[in-house]
Amino acid sequence: MLRTIVWGLCLLGVFPAAHGADPPAKKENFHLFLLVGQSNMAGRGTVSEADRTPHPRVLMFNKNQKWVPAIDPLHFDKPGIVGTGLGKTFAMEVAEAYPDVTIGLIPCAVGGSPISSWEPGGYHEQTKSHPWDDCVKRAHAALPVGTLKGILWHQGESDAKPELAVQYGQKLEELITRFRHELESPNVPFLIGQMGKFEEVPWSEGKKSVDQAHQAVAKSDPLIEFISAEGLNHKGDKVHFDADSYREFGKRYANAYLELVRSRD
């Protein structure tokens, strides 16, 4: 009865997500997803009331490594500017497709982080963090109660420079292999989101190179999907998506994931 009351208050937006939530008793009924990359994965959209309304079967692993009802912002990389992203919409879409499971999100994205910081020992000066090391610690703390079902990646803007872009494809392949090995999930799906394509901001050669690497890596492995950002809008800064575009992007990630897993069934 108490748990029912708590969920009711959550759905009304009265009870804050700081209060914990119990994952399902069976690991196979708790589907976990890592959210990794830089700011467009962390989310920079304006948070609405709907974004702060939990779904009864979507949880997030918060900064204090507690499972709580998922509300935006999910991430905590840059508390002053973090906002709505694609993760919550993705999770709700997948939860609706699988009514017998609960979705658990593990937010680990770091705004501004280049792919080199997503290597063991990698350091990100801007946030004084170690993106890869911190992510792995959080993942290992979260995984015992559930089953890793996917890794969502959105990153590349920080590597869209000629001297970095040329190495990007190899580094991304190494990253995916490292994630699968470290988390003992050799067949876990990996979803790559396309960088923003905004009409008033023509892509540099570096961005074109990173985009080509994203698509080539996806084509190299049937368990990797590339998700188009075609038609999505920025929030006014010509870098980050607006809130509606993040929600649409979340649906696209979910559709790609569901098509992939259904093709394997």
Q: Check residue 265 and give its pLDDT.
A: 79
* φ and ψ at residue 147, rounded to 5 degrees: -125, 125
Q: Please write the tens of the pLDDT for every residue from 145-199.
A: 999 999 999 999 999 999 999 999 999 999 999 999 999 999 999 999 999 999 9
Provide the pLDDT for residue 249. 98
Domain boundaries, the chain: 2-264
Q: What is the pLDDT of residue 15?
A: 42
DSSP string, 155-216: --GGG-SHHHHHHHHHHHHHHHHHHHHHTT-TT--EEEEPPP--TTSPPPHHHHHHHHHHHH
Phi/psi at 31 (5° precision): -90, 120
Q: Where are the beta strands (DSSP E) in the chain?
A: 30-37, 58-61, 67-69, 102-107, 147-154, 190-193, 224-227
CA distances from 17 to 21, 53, 69, 72 (A): 9, 9, 5, 10
Instruction: Give the pTM.
Output: 0.93
**CATH entry 3.10.20.310 includes domain 2-264:** no
Cα→Cα distances 140→6, 7, 134, 171, 184, Å: 28, 27, 10, 23, 10
The residue ranges of the chain whose pLDDT is under 50 are: 1-17
